C-alpha cells in the first residue's frame, strides 16, 4: 500500500499545472542564462521577484474575483486613484505618520472595490460592465483630484518612499509584502468558509444556493478583497516608482488578468490556486526582465503575453473537455 502511494505521488505531481509552469520558468531562466550568465544570479533573481511583487499581489486579488465567474477591469484604476490620494496626502500633510497612510491606502481601495461589489450584488449588473464603467470613473477621478498634475519624489517625504526599499533578510520590504499577502491568501482560500464559498459559487452557483451560500454576498466580498489589495498596491506602486499620476498602471489590468489565466485560473470560475496565480505573475515577470537581456524589443512584450494567454486558454479548455468526457463515461457506466 505504501509503495502504491509513493508511486502515485509523482504521477499526481506531473498532472499539476503549477508543476509544469514552474518547470517552464526554470527552463526559461536557464536558456537566457546561456546567453547572459548573470541573469540566473541570485541577486538578479531577487530583483525579478521584487519587480514582480506588485503584479503578484494584484493577481491574487483578481484571482478571487475570477473564481466567482466575475472579473475586475477596474483593479489598475483603483491602484492609480488610491496611490494618487495617498501621495497627495503625504505631499500636502507630511506630518501624517507613514504607517497611517499605508493603512489608509487599502481602506480606500476597499471602498472602491465595495462599489463594484455592491453594483454586481444588489443591482445584478454583469461584473464586466460594472468594472468597465468604474475603470473610467476612477481614472477620471484620479485626474480631477490631482488637477492633471503629477506628484513626484521632491514632493514626497523620504520615509514615504523608502519603506519598500528597506532590506530584510536580503530582500526589500516590497518583496516581503508579496510573501506575507500570498500566505494570507493561502490561508483564506483553503482554511476559511469564505474561501470555500468562493470556489463553490464558481463551480456551481445554483448548487451553492441550495447549500445555503449567498452568491451575491460572496461576490461582494470577492470584489472587496480585490479592492483591498489594489489600494495597498496603490501605495506600493507610488513608493516603488516614486511618482503618482493619472497614467499610473494604465493597461496594467491586462497584465494582471494575463497572470491569472497563464497560471491556470479559469475564466469560467471555480478553478485556480494561490500558487497558480503567483507562478503566472512570475512567468510574466521573467519574460519582461528577459526581453532587454536577449535584445528583443519591449514592444513585443504585449504580443508575447497575448500569445501566452491564448495558449493558456486553449490548455484550460482542453482540460475541461477531458474532464467532461470522464464524467460522461462514468455516468454511462453507472446506467
Spell out the per-residue pLDDT of the chain, length 335, in tens: 445 444 445 555 545 667 778 888 888 888 888 888 888 888 888 898 999 999 999 999 999 999 999 999 999 999 999 999 999 999 889 898 999 999 999 999 999 999 999 999 999 899 999 999 999 999 999 999 888 788 888 888 888 888 888 888 888 999 999 999 999 999 999 999 999 999 999 888 888 888 888 999 999 999 999 999 999 999 999 999 988 888 888 888 988 998 998 888 888 888 888 988 999 999 888 888 887 777 776 667 667 767 777 776 676 665 554 443 333 343 344 34
DSSP letters along 183-210, please?
A: HHHHHHHHHSHHHHHHHHHHH-HHHHHH
Beta pairing class for 151-152 and 243-244: antiparallel
Residues in the chain: 335
Q: Are 279 and 63 in contact (CB under 8 A)?
A: no
Strand, coil or helix: 328:
helix
Establish how many alpha carbons lie within 13 A of residue 298's alpha carbon, considering only the half-sphere containing its beta carbon: 6
pLDDT number for residue 10: 59
Kind and range of the H or E element at 171?
strand 171-172
CA distance 80 to 332: 53
Kindly report the pTM of this predicted structure.
Answer: 0.88
Give CA angle at 117 (116, 122), nearest 5°.
110
**Do 178 and 56 touch, CB atoms closer than 8 A?**
yes
Helices (H), 68-126: 75-92, 98-122
Grid coordinates representing 254 are 491586462
Q: So what's the pLDDT on residue 141?
A: 93
- The torsion defined by the Cα of 145, 149, 154 and 159, in degrees rounded to 10, comes to 30
Amino acid at each position: 500500500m505504501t509503495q502504491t502511494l509513493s508511486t502515485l505521488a509523482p504521477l499526481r505531481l506531473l498532472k499539476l499545472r503549477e508543476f509544469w509552469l514552474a518547470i517552464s520558468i526554470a527552463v526559461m531562466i536557464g536558456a537566457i542564462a546561456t546567453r547572459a550568465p548573470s541573469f540566473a544570479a541570485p541577486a538578479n533573481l531577487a530583483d525579478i521577484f521584487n519587480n514582480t511583487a506588485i503584479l503578484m499581489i494584484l493577481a491574487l486579488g483578481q484571482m478571487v474575483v475570477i473564481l466567482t465567474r466575475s472579473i475586475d477591469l477596474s483593479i489598475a484604476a483603483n491602484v492609480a486613484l488610491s496611490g494618487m490620494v495617498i501621495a497627495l496626502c503625504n505631499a500636502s500633510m507630511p506630518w501624517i505618520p507613514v504607517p497611517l497612510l499605508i493603512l489608509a491606502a487599502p481602506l480606500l481601495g476597499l471602498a472602491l472595490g465595495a462599489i463594484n461589489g455592491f453594483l454586481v450584488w444588489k443591482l445584478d449588473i454583469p461584473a464586466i460592465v460594472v468594472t468597465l464603467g468604474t475603470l473610467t470613473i476612477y481614472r477620471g477621478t484620479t485626474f480631477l483630484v490631482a488637477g492633471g498634475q503629477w506628484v513626484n519624489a521632491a514632493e514626497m517625504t523620504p520615509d514615504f518612499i523608502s519603506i519598500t526599499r528597506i532590506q530584510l533578510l536580503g530582500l526589500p520590504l516590497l518583496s516581503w509584502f508579496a510573501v506575507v499577502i500570498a500566505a494570507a491568501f493561502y490561508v483564506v482560500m483553503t482554511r476559511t468558509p469564505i474561501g470555500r464559498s468562493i470556489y463553490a459559487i464558481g463551480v456551481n452557483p445554483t448548487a451553492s444556493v441550495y447549500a445555503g451560500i449567498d452568491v451575491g454576498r460572496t461576490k461582494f466580498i470577492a470584489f472587496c478583497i480585490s479592492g483591498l489589495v489594489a489600494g495597498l498596491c496603490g501605495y506600493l506602486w507610488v513608493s516603488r516608482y516614486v511618482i503618482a499620476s493619472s497614467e499610473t498602471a494604465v493597461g496594467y489590468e491586462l497584465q494582471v488578468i494575463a497572470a491569472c489565466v497563464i497560471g491556470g485560473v479559469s475564466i469560467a470560475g471555480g478553478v485556480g490556486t494561490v500558487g497558480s496565480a503567483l507562478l503566472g505573475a512570475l512567468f510574466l515577470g521573467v519574460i519582461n526582465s528577459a526581453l532587454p537581456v536577449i535584445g528583443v524589443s519591449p514592444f513585443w512584450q504585449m504580443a508575447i503575453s497575448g500569445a501566452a494567454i491564448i495558449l493558456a486558454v486553449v490548455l484550460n479548455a482542453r482540460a475541461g473537455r477531458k474532464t467532461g468526457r470522464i464524467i460522461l463515461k462514468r455516468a454511462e457506466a453507472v446506467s
